[in-house]
Amino acid sequence: MTSEAIDTNISTLKFWEQPRQVHRDTFKWLRENRPVNWNDPPEALDPGLDNAKGFWSVTKHADIREVSRNPKVFSSADGVFIDDFPQLETMLSFIVSDPPRHTSFRNIVSVAFTPKHIKKVEEQNTKIVREVIDTAAPQGEGDLCELITKEVPGRIFASYFGITDDDEIKYVMDTAEQMGAWSDPDYAHIGSPLEVFADATSRLGELALRHAKERQKNPGEDLMSWVSQAQYEGEKMTVEEVGVFFALLAGAANDTTRHSAAHMLTLFHQHPDQKAYLMEDFSGRADDAINECLRMEPPLMHFRRTALQDTELNGQEIKEGDKVVLWYISGSRDADVFENPDTLDIKRSWKQNPHQAFGGGGPHYCLGNMLAKQMLKAELWEIFTRMKDLEVGEPDLMLSNFMNGVMKLPGKWTPEKKS
Q: Which residues bind ligand HEM (CB under 6 A)?
A: 68, 94-95, 106, 249, 252-253, 256-257, 260, 298-300, 303, 328, 357-360, 362, 364-368, 371-372
398: amino acid identity, one letter: M
Peptide bond into 100 cis (omega under 30): yes
Nearer to ligand HEM, 325 or 372 (CB): 372
Q: Which residue is nearest to ligand HEM (CB)?
A: 368
Residue 259 Cβ vs ligand HEM, minimum distance, rounded to whole Å = 8
Alpha carbon distance 282, 51 (integer Å): 47
Residue 68 Cβ vs ligand HEM, minimum distance, rounded to whole Å = 5
Nearer to ligand HEM, 243 or 359 (CB): 359
Nearer to ligand HEM, 299 or 411 (CB): 299
Residue 188 Cβ vs ligand HEM, minimum distance, rounded to whole Å = 26
Nearer to ligand HEM, 46 or 76 (CB): 76
Nearer to ligand HEM, 142 or 362 (CB): 362
DSSP label of 415: P
Output the 3-class SS for 302-361.
Answer: EEEEEECCCEEECCEEECCCCEEEEEHHHHCCCCCCCCCCCCCCCCCCHHHCCCCCCCCC
Strand partners, 396: 408
C-alpha angle 125-366-214 in degrees, rounded to nearest 5: 55
3-class secondary-structure state, position 71: coil
132, containing H or E segment: helix 115-136
Residue 43 Cβ vs ligand HEM, minimum distance, rounded to whole Å = 23
3-class secondary-structure state, position 8: coil
Nearer to ligand HEM, 137 or 407 (CB): 407
Strand partners, 329: none
Residue 95 Cβ vs ligand HEM, minimum distance, rounded to whole Å = 4
Count the residues in the chain. 419
Residue 27 Cβ vs ligand HEM, minimum distance, rounded to whole Å = 16
When computed from its CA atoms, the radius of gyration of the chain, rounded to whole angstroms, is 21
